[in-house]
Amino acid sequence: MPRVYNFSAGPAILPEPVLAQAAADMMDYQGCGMSVMEMSHRSPAFQGIIDTAEADLRDLMGIPENYDVLFLQGGDSLQFAAVPMNLALAKHGVADYIVTGQWSKKAQQEAARFIDARIVATGAEDNFSHLPDCSDLPLSEDADYVYLCQNETVHGLRFAQLPDTKGKVLVSDQSSMFLSEPVDVSQFGLIHAGVQKNVGPAGVQIVIVRHDLVPEGDIDGVPVMMNYKTHVDKKSLYNTPPCWNIYMCGLVFKHLKELGGLEAVQKMNQEKAQLLYDAIDESALFKGVAAKEDRSMMNVCFVTGDADLDAKFAKEATAAGLTNLKGHRSVGGLRASIYNAMPRKGVEALIAFMKDFEVQNR
């Protein structure tokens, strides 16, 4: 079976050179006589892997010295609890949430179990079809942070510009846009991202946190594994990390550097997204779901307006080697996730298929 164009929202397509490197390393990683999956996380070989991965990520993103980089486990959903526990529980116990779709909503709901998690803006009334006005947010005086999801994977919305948080610490879930474009890390108190979209196999979350926000010691009721200090002190090796997944992330970081870094990656992503959105806008059958000014560069959501026809499209596309185009189960419709590793040729193949489908189903 030839490789398909995989438009899954995550776990998602990975760069072929990275998969080939992983295959080449599988039986014998650099003369160790074993694969990375089999080696001790305390071995010099793995220490080299995690140190290099961190250094390459710092280089790619230009992460300032006063930020810690953590490779964690538990699913990115665990960060919905870890963020309020670490950044608010032992302070004012208050945070302001911008709710723009499924993921920021889940984050707010989880935070509300531990702190006073206030919603300061929401797009819920319009089914999260566009971002709410964030030009003058009614922020809480005592908010320990302001939270947003910079790219909503399910609703296909992206913050092209960050809201004015009036000097408050900004926390961003970058899961579905991580490393898709340059970001100025110094604008954030904390960035978290699950790697299973743009970076590697599911099982790692990357947390980039400004050092002064890391708790100084134990926090009442917070498990040791949930305290960022534990992982900062032990450089992500407090317990057994997902070694192979971190190694895979490291290969992707190297690959992105070889492509020319995040500016070059952003350019490719912009071109791919433009091609696909143009095709949608020119079509008489397909319609984009998100407001034009808030469109995601990674998750392109569209519909035909007829759920049966959407299903037919996804089914026939799969047969043509264009897989995972069904929208998230909570919203239906169609979604093409075009992460870094999706080649332009894949987007072109999708557009050609859409045009053909439109002719057949007019």
**Number of residues located near ligand PMP, criterion CB under 6 A:** 11
Binding of ligand PMP at residue 175 (CB under 6 A)?
yes
* Nearest-approach distance from CB 180 to ligand PMP, in angstroms: 12
Q: Which listed range, 19-27, 71-79, 119-127, 332-340, lies at the site for ligand PMP (CB under 6 A)?
A: 71-79
The structure tokens 């190694």 sit at 247
Given 173, 244, 272, 310, the catalytic residue: 173
- Token pair for residue 59? 């280089």
Q: Is residue 76 a contact point for ligand PMP (CB under 6 A)?
A: yes
Nearest position to ligand PMP, beta carbon: 75
The conformation of residue 105, written as its DSSP 8-state character, comes to H
Residue 42 beta carbon to ligand PMP: minimum distance, rounded to whole angstroms: 26
Cβ distance to ligand PMP smaller for residue 39 or 204? 204
Task: Decide: 272 and 339 in contact? Cβ < 8 Å.
Answer: no
**Cα separation, 160 vs 149, whole angstroms:** 12
Among 201, 185, 306, 200, which Cα is nearest to 253's? 200
Task: Rule CB under 6 A: choose which of 153, 296, 304, 337 binds ligand PMP.
Answer: 153
Query: Under rule CB under 6 A, which residues in 77-136 are in contact with ligand PMP?
Result: 77, 103
Within 10 Å of residue 51's Cβ, how many Cβ atoms? 12
Contacting range for ligand PMP; rule: CB under 6 A; set: 15-23, 36-44, 170-178, 329-337: 170-178
Which residue's CB is nearer to ligand PMP, number 76 or number 96? 76
Q: Read off the amino acid at residue 225.
A: M
Q: Is 235 an annotated catalytic residue?
A: no
Q: Cα–Cα–Cα angle for 189, 270, 208, nearest 5°?
A: 20
Count other C-beta atoms under 10 Å from residue 133's C-beta: 10
Q: Could you give the dihedral angle defined by the CA atoms of residues 226, 186, 294 and 328, in that order, rounded to the nearest 10 degrees?
A: -20
Interface with ligand PMP by CB under 6 A: which residues? 10, 75-77, 103, 149, 153, 173, 175-176, 194
